[in-house]
Amino acid sequence: MKLINNPDKSQWAEILKRPVMNTENLFDTVREIIDRVRAEGDRAVLEMEAKFDKVELTSLVVTEAELKEAETLVDEKLKEAIRLAKQNIETFHAAQRFEGKKVETMPGVTCWQKAVAIEKVGLYIPGGTAPLFSTVLMLAVPAKIAGCREIVLCTPPDREGRVHPAILFAAQVAGVNRIFKAGGVQAIASMAYGTESVPKVYKIFGPGNQYVTAAKQLVSLRDVAIDMPAGPSEVEVLADETADPIFVAADLLSQAEHGVDSQAMLITTSEALQQAVKAEVERQLELLPRKEIAEKSLANSKLIVVKDMEEVLELTNEYAPEHLIVETADYMQVAERVVNAGSVFLGSLSPESAGDYASGTNHTLPTNGYAKAYSGVSLDSFIRKITFQEIRPEGMKNIGPAIEEMAANEHLDAHKNAVTVRLGKLKIEN
């Protein structure tokens, strides 16, 4: 990890650079796969599975028998953990239900909003080096609460054509309707356009590698919505001299093991903590099974000392981390001043892992500085809000002349006339 001490503000932009995920140079390759799936459906997806996931499938569908078998293969302790996490995620997201209220903007004019679920959503769950069954819960549970009619899940199978049993168990617990064996670009294309097996959805959620990210970007240009722009995962620990270096190092490494392009940052006022964390990271790293991945990720990572808490907060809000752990003596006061972050973990006993798995908050979060403009996935991600208005005679008389005046000044005479004819009729009736 790079050690940086009291950098000048002119250096901040360079210091806060992320590992680059340049998806534009993949667009031609990705578009070719998308076009094939769009044109040839299941046949193209099966061919791509053979090519990229090295598996010969006869069907993309996960069967009832496979779902039942998965339940017997998952350890009982893990089942209990998944159920507990599901319950907490459900509790937190159910509290986000929208309650629209009717507002009379002026006498005779009533406006309101109604929350309506997105009818069909697609969830992408990567296979890769770790089976992300926790992401199944993070996406499917709020989709179910929102009332999405069809929840479709795509995930790559292993070389024997099997989906990890914990993914299948979590999908059943969370209320997924249909599960398909498809990974990468072909999975995104299947959900964006539909195939003989996979239904077309209206919005696609879920993480993935740079090819999946590029595919989501391309299909979102005109054909389907996506959750948010995505880049490599990241964490920042914001700490003072009271922080425990063992905890801080553990938090940095828990992020670093995600992938070689992940980033972990410490921003602190304490040089002593910086040195202690460096030593502790090196010690704990040796004990990690995913040491090789974490080591590469740590090359993108930094331990930064600045002069005071003002600078810590300014640098943090400029970085806009996906995950932010605040480990200071006065963490509640510090947290009040955080304006750019995906999810914030307060105090020494709130590791990022809690939000990743079971506290109840969502772990699908904006990366790459997008926390300045985007929220993480929530119940709102699975709903649309439709506005309604009702104008009664009194209301038309009250706002009609203003509408006529504004329409006339925008030279939209048909707009004006739509009001004029109504006002004329109300005069006759009176």
Classify strands 109-117 and 383-391 as parallel, antiparallel or unpaired. Answer: antiparallel
Strands 109-117 and 103-106: antiparallel
Chain CA centroid to CA 73, Å: 29
Contact 179, 163 (CB under 8 A): yes
Beta bridge partners of 102: none
Distance CA 196, CA 190 (A): 9
Q: Which two tokens stand for residue 200?
A: 């077309």
The percent of residues above 70 in pLDDT, for the chain, comes to 99
Say whether 323 counts as a known binding-site residue: yes
Tokens of 216: 């989501």
Q: Tokens 């995930």 map to which residue?
A: 155
Round to whole Å and give the CA distance between 419 and 428. 15
Helix (H, G, I), strand (E, B) or coil at 249: helix
Give me the residues of the chain with pLDDT under 70, please.
Answer: 128-129
**Per-residue pLDDT tens digits for 365-403:** 999 999 999 999 999 999 999 999 999 999 999 999 999
- Ligand-binding annotation for 359, yes or no, is no
Tokens of 291: 């040491």
pLDDT at 91: 98
Measured CA distances, 290 to 5, 9, 31, 259, 414 (Å): 29, 35, 33, 9, 67
- Alpha carbon distance 212, 364 (integer Å): 15
Residue 129's pLDDT is 64
Q: Is 415 annotated as a binding residue?
A: yes
> 239 forms bridges with which residues in the sheet?
268, 327
Q: What is the pLDDT of residues 234-246, one digit of tens each?
A: 999 999 999 999 9
Q: Which two tokens stand for residue 310?
A: 């003002």
Residue 218 is predicted with a pLDDT of 96
Scanning the structure block, which residue is given the tokens 């199944």?
136
Backbone angles phi, psi at 194, to 5 degrees: 80, 145
For residues 406 and 421, give the distance between their C-alpha atoms in angstroms, rounded to a whole number: 16
Q: Is 263 annotated as a binding residue?
A: no
Give SS3 for 305. strand
Q: How far is CA 86 from CA 49, 65, 79, 82, in A?
A: 31, 23, 10, 6
How high is the pLDDT of residue 20?
74
Question: Which stretches of 98-190 are assigned E, i.e. beta strand?
Answer: 103-106, 109-117, 120-124, 150-155, 178-181
Instruction: Please identify which residue in the block is written with the tokens 């239900």.
Output: 97
Q: Is 411 labeled as ligand-binding?
A: no
Dist CA 228 CA 362 (whole Å):
14
Domains belonging to the chain, first-starting first, are 24-226 (3.40.50.1980), 231-375 (3.40.50.1980), 392-429 (no CATH)
Cβ-count burial of 371 within 10 angstroms (0-12 exposed, 13-18 middle, 19+ buried)?
A: buried
pLDDT recorded at residue 399: 98
Residue 410 marked as a ligand binder: yes
Please state the φ and ψ torsions of residue 417, each to the nearest 5 degrees: -65, -30
End-to-end CA distance of the chain: 80
Q: Is 280 annotated as a binding residue?
A: no
How far apart, in whole angstroms, are the C-alpha atoms of residue 157 and residue 184? 11
Residues in Cβ contact with 165 at an 8 Å cutoff, skipping those fewer than 6 apart: 69, 70, 71, 73, 74
255 annotated as a binding-site residue? yes
Name the region of 182 (left: φ>0; alpha: ψ -120 to 50; beta: rest): beta
**8 Å CB contact between 321 and 371:** yes
By annotation, the residues acting in catalysis are 322-323
DSSP alpha helices (H): ranges in 147-289? 165-174, 184-193, 210-220, 245-256, 271-285
Assess contact for 201 and 171: CB atoms under 8 A: no
